[in-house]
Structure 1
Amino acid sequence: MLRNRTLIAISLSVGAAFIGIGMVGPVRVLFAQSPGASLAIIGAMASAYLVSNFIFQYPSGWLADRWGRKQVMILGLFIQAILSLLYLLITDPILFVVLRFVEGIAAAALLPSARAMIIDIVPPEQQGEAYGIFNAFFNAGFLIGPGLGGLLATTGYASAFIGAALFRIVAIVIVIALIPTVRKETITTKTMHDHLGASVAVIGLAYMAWSIPNIILSPIGGRLADRYRRSLMIAIFGLAQVPLYILYGLATMASLVVVLFGLHGIFYAFIQPAVDAHVATSSRSNMRARVQGMYSTVGLLGAFFGANLFSPLYAINYRLPLFTMGTIFGLCVITGSILVRISESRAKSADPLHEMHL
């Protein structure tokens, strides 16, 4: 597979694009706050991206099937590069929400086209290995981007956005120069992974079931994180997710997975603000961008290793990665909540006026 130049070119272009995405991840919120964006605006920015990205995944795939994968990839990358630079020209916080919505549309044009091209050029019996290589480059982009963006942001937030635009341009050059135009009927194979028989519509419904309660309850989770001990919230809502991974692995009906996704979205809405708030309050004012970059990098490092290390388990039995993930996640929650509690105790000792809201 490593000798397949087109596969490597596709993977490189996507990796470069996601380096660009990762570069602005740690600094986007801080950059938006500088012209006066409120927490409501920042929340709307995140929601706008998720909503547009979700809505336009299928239309972008439809367009790629009819117009061409390569053309749609180039268009999406070009728009992303322009949007990265437009951030530097905006002073109205409301326009950040509009930019994020359009950015979600542009991002939706990339992965469906890239993944479809892999199906076009790789025989069915080698597609597992091909997607493993593709995912390695994809996750490497997420791994490198936040650290690089945080480093550039120490010279000014604008540097991260300019760097992100440059990496999108690099991706465009790779697509134009190294990826041939391929149009081929999609190969349907009996070896597709449809263990629970879920249709594409049901899969989309599952993600909606996760996203909707998460969007609604995240502000409430943020308020609770400001009022109560964050280590306790991390422990409670983190450990509440462990049985869900076990149930995912035991599920025999797709409808049950949809329900579990909804519960997962609820629990996640309460743990993530607590984690984010602790990271924010624990960072010095002159190191915030670097801390956010490291925070994103560590999270994406876990995603990188998980995506690559769980593949052998999946080959043995598709339930094993879920059981393993639940076990590892539970251990991480216990360890992390203890470390956060120690940090809270030290902060309280250092500040005698600090009051714990319990």
Structure 2
Amino acid sequence: MGIGAVTPLVALTARDLGASVGVAALVVALLGLGQLCGDLPAGWLAERLGEKRALVLACVLEAAGLLTACVAPSVLLLGVAVFVCGMAGSVLALARQSYFTVAVPSAYRARALSTLGGCFRIGFFVGPLVGAAVISAFDLQAAYVFAAASSLLAAVVTLALPDLPPTGTGAPPPRVGLRTVLWEHRRVLTTVGVGVLLIMMARATRQSIIPLWAESQGVSPATTSVIFGLSSAMDMLMFFPGGWVMDRYGRFWVAVPAVAVLGAGMVVLPLTDSALTIGAVALVMGLGNGVSSGVVMTLGSDASPAVGRAQFLAAWRLLADTGTSVGPLLITAVTGLASLAAGSVVVGVIALLGVGWLTRWLPGSPLADRRARDA
């Protein structure tokens, strides 16, 4: 909720410090870049400190970054603070997932991780509303103070978490290097992992293509906000049903339909030309995005080894975050070469191709089961 409160404000803060529009956009992008750069080191940190300590340290580091952003006298220092927050966010995400993998019985894993994903969505939905109220009562800097306080409160809550149970022998697990983990699990990372990249590409593209297409069709900013808000509400409502389906019937029956819905939505979106039709497509895409809440984390937890879990999940998150970055960049590139409609269709077609890829490699898919029986 704290990060959700300040994310829309970073560009405004950069502009207040004298940044151009392009530089302000770059400062915002540093949050995602920090997450990418922090993914692999996050695995090392969680493996060395343990998930609980890594979570507390990341919360404190995030609070420090937010307070620095609050008082930053220059765009350069603001950018450094945003980058640090991104790196802290990668540690938080990985350590949470690793903790859930061990602490939650496998029979409830998908529901637990889907609920975790739902908490992210709720926080990012409520955060900007709280941030707006704080700014109205005080000023822009107060939102950063609120976000920092939220991070510190999260650190305190984390301290109340029970420690993870010891290994079966009672001895600390052996430590393995990142290269060893990547090599031993290269097959799953280059098959299911690539599928995860495609899932995240489709999901990230949805967030940028809907408002851009609405604006290109002359829909007012207020109406666009309503459309995106309704889509986000659908997104939030579907996280637990998606987890239930994954636990009951298998991960395939959420991952593949969700990507199919998102891909089809992006292919159909250029055919819409009014607030009503754009809103209808946005709601369907919100349904696909919401039901897949937690699926990437669940697939990663399923595939993670007992030895080297943190390093494996770090590589898994790197693939996922790469997909998150690739989607909007692909839209930008194709739009520059052709048009926004072409960009939407290209990403949609890639997502639909991802359906075939996931069907080929995802454990539990009919094709994978048939191969296993034949073997």
TM above 0.5: yes
Q: Which residue of 2 aligns with 1:274?
A: 212
CA distance in 2, matches of 1:121, 1:49: 29
SS at match of 2:156: helix
State the 1:159 CA deviation: 1.8
Q: Which residue of 1 aligns with 2:145?
A: 162
Q: Which residue of 2 aligns with 1:338?
A: 274
CA distance in 1, matches of 2:203, 2:263: 16
Maintained 8 Å contact 1:149/1:293: no
State the 1:64 CA deviation: 0.7
Q: In the TM superposition, what whole-angstrom CA distance separates every residue of 1:78-137 from its partner, at most 9, and x where no partner exists? A: 011111111221121122222221111111110111111111212222212222332232
CA distance in 2, matches of 1:105, 1:266: 19
1:199 equivalent in alignment to 2:181? no
- Cα distance change of structure 1 residues 296 and 271 upon mapping to structure 2, 3 Å threshold: closer
Maintained 8 Å contact 1:22/1:145: yes
State the 1:312 CA deviation: 5.2
CA distance in 2, matches of 1:153, 1:269: 25
Q: Which residue of 2 aligns with 1:62?
A: 44
CA distance in 1, matches of 2:15, 2:77: 13
- Cα distance change of structure 1 residues 63 and 294 upon mapping to structure 2, 3 Å threshold: farther
Q: Which residue of 1 aligns with 2:4?
A: 22
Q: Identify which of 130, 135, 147 aligns with 1:148.
A: 130
- Measured on the aligned residues, the alpha-carbon RMSD in Å equals 4.1
Query: How do 1:88-237 and structure 2 match up within 5 A?
Result: 88-155=70-137, 156-176=139-159, 178-182=160-164, 184=166, 199-200=188-189, 206=194
Q: Which residue of 1 aligns with 2:259?
A: 322
SS at match of 1:91: coil
Q: Which residue of 1 aligns with 2:19?
A: 37
Letter in structure 1 aligned against 2:275: L
State the 1:326 CA deviation: 4.2
Q: Which residue of 2 aligns with 1:303?
A: 235
- Cα distance change of structure 1 residues 313 and 304 upon mapping to structure 2, 3 Å threshold: same
Q: In the TM superposition, what whole-angstrom CA distance separates every residue of 1:52-97 from its partner, at most 9, and x where no partner exists? A: 2112112212221221111111111001111111122112112222
State the 1:203 CA deviation: 6.6
State the 1:324 CA deviation: 3.5
CA distance in 2, matches of 1:266, 1:123: 30
Percent of pairs with identical residues = 20
SS at match of 1:109: helix
Q: Which residue of 1 aligns with 2:317?
A: none
Q: In the TM superposition, what whole-angstrom CA distance separates every residue of 1:303-349 from its partner, at most 9, and x where no partner exists? A: 323544444565462422233344566677766x412999xxxxxxx
SS at match of 2:18: coil
SS at match of 2:162: coil
Give 5+ residue unaligned stretches, structure 1.
1-18, 188-196, 207-253, 285-290, 343-358
Q: TM-score, normalised by structure 1?
A: 0.59
Maintained 8 Å contact 1:70/1:179: yes
CA distance in 2, matches of 1:292, 1:165: 30
Q: How many residues align?
A: 256
Q: Which residue of 2 aligns with 1:80?
A: 62
- Cα distance change of structure 1 residues 110 and 321 upon mapping to structure 2, 3 Å threshold: same
State the 1:180 CA deviation: 2.2
Point out the more displaced range, 303-312 or 90-99: 303-312
Maintained 8 Å contact 1:72/1:110: yes
Q: In the TM superposition, what whole-angstrom CA distance separates every residue of 1:206-257 from its partner, at most 9, and x where no partner exists? A: 5xxxxxxxxxxxxxxxxxxxxxxxxxxxxxxxxxxxxxxxxxxxxxxx5xx8
SS at match of 1:200: helix
Q: TM-score, normalised by structure 2?
A: 0.56
